[in-house]
């Protein structure tokens, strides 16, 4: 999942289940808190994004 999110953010595409590459423009990423393993999932996504040089920041800066 982390690699898919990183590709979506960096390249603007997501690979569908059938292998089709679909263009996507995303300004945010949501991990549902009630998903099993949500904290681990969010942590893995953040780590991957940071490792790939993506600027991760909150919606609002104080």
Q: How many domains does the chain have?
A: 1
The predicted model gives 50-57 an average pLDDT of 93
In a domain, 58, yes or no: no
Is there a domain that residue 23 lies in? yes
Give CA–CA dist 2/47, Å, rounded.
Answer: 8
The verdict on residue 28 lying in a domain is: yes
In a domain, residue 57? The reply is no
- 1-50 pLDDT, tens digit per residue, is 899 999 999 999 999 999 999 999 988 888 888 888 999 999 999 999 99
Domain span at residue 46 reads 2-51
- 3-state SS, the chain, equals CHHHHHHHHHHCEEECCCCCEEECCCCCCCCCCCCCCHHHHHHHHHHHHHHCCCCCCCCCCC
Of 21, 14, 9, 11, nearest to 48 (Cα)?
9
Mean pLDDT value across residues 47-62: 88
């Amino acid at each position: 999942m982390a690699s898919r999110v990183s590709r979506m953010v960096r390249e603007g595409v997501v690979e569908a289940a059938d292998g089709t590459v679909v263009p996507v423009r995303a300004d945010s990423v949501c991990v549902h808190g009630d998903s099993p393993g949500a904290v681990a999932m969010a942590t893995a996504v953040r780590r991957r994004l940071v490792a790939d040089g993506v600027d991760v920041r909150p919606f609002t800066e104080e």
